[in-house]
Structure 1
Amino acid sequence: MRFKTDLKNIRTFSKLAAALNSLEKIAWIRLDDDTVRFTVIPEVGSQVWASLSADLIFDNYQLQSNEPANTINLELPLAPLQRALRSAINSHNANLRLTKKDGAPMLSMVIHTMTKDSGGPNPAAPHSRSAADDDDNDPFNTPSPFPTEPLELQMRREREKIITQDIPVRVLHPDTVETIMQPKVREPDVHIQLPPLLQLKAISDRFTKLAMTAASTSSSSHNNIVTKDPKLELSANMHGSLRLRLRTDTLDITSVWDGLENPELDPSQLAMPLEEHPSTVFREAGRDKWATVRVDGKDWSRVLSVGRLEGRVIACFSDEHALILYVYVPHSSGGVGEMEDVVTYYVSSFSS
């Protein structure tokens, strides 16, 4: 079994690791000849299924195993990975390889950076001269209105600094991996491109904070220290509108976005005629036909942390059942026709 690669797009990789780490501390990573898959399945909360082209984050990618497509399955802690990637962001070169230390498997990240050292005066530099040393008849020997600056030059030498970060991993047997199944959901009732996630997160966090404050005040007045996690209601229609709502015994506040895009579906990718698709039914029902899910406010905030990847996000609503987020990560500038990879979030809906 062999895995060795150089890192590229380290900043994107670091942002992904941070987003995953906000949901769970452990991830399963599946490497094969062409693809890198990250899976995060917390005991409670939203699940993540990220499928990335190997060339998005890796270069000089070398992989070898006895499994089909040279597949290697690893379980790794996300916090050490995030710390290592943060250290590598400003490096000029970083590589990652699977190795063993004291018999235990490790992902070893070697980071090469350049530092500058300050040296003493340059002995080859000329020394400054005082006015007394000059010939009195020197026509250029006139007082200057500017302060005299020393000509001694400080030598600055670049020195390479090598940092090694070891991330403990566990190699998973293929039989174990077969039990990790992606959730199956029905065809979505509404699909819509979300507004910028950092904007949506700010308002969602505000609603959650208001709900917690109201719940805390209510529980204190009733001598009750148990406070339920606040639930937010997300709704969307097939006419470009998204609604975020908080309803409690004492609050009912709503924020609405209009003018959003409902992307067109590709009929060749559907298991049914487009005119029979649930989203077509919702579109024809008009603006008042909403698909709704209810999410835990704190978990939803962690999900929205993926906004740091700065890709477009398509939300697929299965009414009263689940919300699927498809986060498209561009390979470079994200221009028209730019190649993209996808990170998928599965968010279950709570009952009303």
Structure 2
Amino acid sequence: MRFRANIENVVIFQRVLQCVEKLQKRCIIKFTEEEMHIICNQESEDGVQVWSQIKKDALFSNYKIQSNAANVISLGLSPDALLQALRSASPSSSSNSSSAVDGGGVGAYASIGASEVVMRLAKKRGQAVLSLEIIFDGGSGNGSGKVVVSHDVLIDVLKPAEMERVKEPMCPEPDIHILLPPLTKLRTVTEHLRQLADVLEVRVGRRGDLRLAVDTDDVTVETLWTKQRRPKKGKSAKEKGKEKEVDKDKSFAVRLSVRAFLKFLSVHVVSSTTIACVCEHHCMILYVYIGDAADVGGVLTFYIPARLTGSEY
């Protein structure tokens, strides 16, 4: 089993991990010949799951993988540990290196960022690790030498039989799709609503209306966006059938944990385009696209289960 790649887009990789580490302490990273998948599927209090796929070329170069499982390698690890390692490669980051070779003075290079970041599978002291080698070019006062910082992230190598039990949530066909407004704006509104209630209703109308609302014994508050785009591509047969009905004012709603929705909204750091799908009274599915619309580098898929009231059972 072998894996090695140069991380070319450290910032995007960091931002994806930033979102993931807010959800769960452990995640699965699956490398294939063409893609990297990050999966958060453990049972949590809010029930939020993430299933992502990112094209290798969006993040890596010199990508090499080999395994007896059809060249697929699956790892269980701490997203926070990997995130901390990647931060050492970013400009202005503080270095908490596990080791430095070819001289010290790593802090002097942190402000300019790494010239190369190599990630590979390794085994050290009998433990499987994802090893990151972060290389800084020599600067003033250091001649033409280089500083190399190494980080080892502990991993569990998952067997194919274990991965066969890892399944995406079973969901009904969506009732409606809508293109969301900028997630930073949604986040600001939701932060205010969290102070009023624990449950949020998201309602989407066929005319492109998006409504966020909370309703308690003491207060009812809602925020409305109108004329949001409703993407035609990818609509389900169920949704197309519903649109043939006469009632163009029809809307579909799902009630979510405010905290769960806020966890999703942390993805604003990577979002370019986000499409939301409502499966009424069941769940909300959100597709966050990485990169430009013309050249999507990958997609993060979030599943947020509905918070049901007695009348919806």
TM category, shorter: 0.7 to 0.9
Aligned to 2:77: 76
Q: 1:104 aligns with which of 124, 127, 151?
A: 127
Task: State the alpha-carbon separation in 2 of the partners of residues 208 and 266 from structure 1.
Answer: 32
Runs ≥4 residues deviating over 3 A: 114-118, 156-159, 282-288
Whether the 8 Å CA contact 1:237–1:283 is kept in 2: the answer is no
Task: State the alpha-carbon separation in 1 of the partners of residues 88 and 266 from structure 2.
Answer: 20
- Displacement of 1:115 in angstroms is 5.7
Aligned to 1:308: 269
Is 1:262 aligned to residue 223 of structure 2? no
Letter in 2 for 1:348: P
Task: State the alpha-carbon separation in 2 of the partners of residues 196 and 351 from structure 1.
Answer: 27
- Larger Rg computed on CA atoms: 1
Aligned to 2:102: none
- Displacement of 1:61 in angstroms is 0.5
CA offsets, 1:40-78, max 9 Å, x none?
02322210000111111111011111111x111110111
Whether the 8 Å CA contact 1:188–1:279 is kept in 2: the answer is no
- Displacement of 1:160 in angstroms is 2.3
Identity fraction in percent: 30
Whether the 8 Å CA contact 2:215–2:221 is kept in 1: the answer is yes
Whether the 8 Å CA contact 1:282–1:289 is kept in 2: the answer is no
Q: SS state of the match for residue 88, structure 2?
A: helix
Q: SS state of the match for residue 196, structure 2?
A: helix
- Displacement of 1:210 in angstroms is 3.0
Task: State the alpha-carbon separation in 2 of the partners of residues 108 and 41 from structure 1.
Answer: 24
Q: SS state of the match for residue 60, structure 1?
A: strand
Aligned to 2:97: none
Aligned to 2:5: 5
Aligned to 1:232: 200
Task: State the alpha-carbon separation in 2 of the partners of residues 158 and 239 from structure 1.
Answer: 62
- Displacement of 1:266 in angstroms is 5.1
- Displacement of 1:310 in angstroms is 2.7
Q: 1:342 aligns with which of 256, 281, 299?
A: 299
Q: 1:293 aligns with which of 254, 261, 264?
A: 254
CA offsets, 1:192-224, max 9 Å, x none?
00000111011101100233xxxxxxxxxxxxx
Is 1:201 aligned to residue 201 of structure 2? no
Aligned to 1:146: none
Whether the 8 Å CA contact 1:91–1:114 is kept in 2: the answer is yes
Task: Kindly report which structure 2 residues correspond to 1:30-69, keeping only aligned pairs within 5 A, or say none.
Answer: 30-44=30-44, 45-68=47-70
Task: Kindly report which structure 2 residues correspond to 1:274-285, keeping only aligned pairs within 5 A, or say none.
Answer: 277-282=238-243, 284-285=245-246
Q: SS state of the match for residue 186, structure 1?
A: coil
Q: SS state of the match for residue 263, structure 1?
A: coil
Give the 3 Å change call, closer, same or farther, for CA 116–340 of structure 1 in structure 2. closer
Task: State the alpha-carbon separation in 1 of the partners of residues 57 and 31 from structure 2.
Answer: 12
Task: Kindly report which structure 2 residues correspond to 1:179-218, keeping only aligned pairs within 5 A, or say none.
Answer: 179-211=165-197
Aligned to 1:327: 288
Whether the 8 Å CA contact 2:260–2:304 is kept in 1: the answer is no
Aligned to 2:89: 88
- Displacement of 1:265 in angstroms is 3.1
Structure 2 runs not aligned, ≥5 long: 91-112
Structure 1 runs not aligned, ≥5 long: 119-155, 212-229
Q: Which deviates the most, 11-20 or 336-345? A: 336-345
Number of residue-to-residue matches in the alignment: 285
Q: Which deviates the most, 169-178 or 338-347? A: 338-347
- Displacement of 1:30 in angstroms is 1.1
CA offsets, 1:160-187, max 9 Å, x none?
2211111000001111111110012222
Q: SS state of the match for residue 38, structure 2?
A: strand
Task: State the alpha-carbon separation in 1 of the partners of residues 170 and 222 from structure 2.
Answer: 31
Is 1:165 aligned to residue 151 of structure 2? yes
Aligned to 1:217: none
Give the 3 Å change call, closer, same or farther, for CA 285–114 of structure 1 in structure 2. farther
| TM-score normalised over the length of structure 2 | 0.86
Aligned to 1:250: 218
- Displacement of 1:340 in angstroms is 3.5
| TM-score normalised over the length of structure 1 | 0.77
Task: State the alpha-carbon separation in 1 of the partners of residues 144 and 254 from structure 2.
Answer: 56
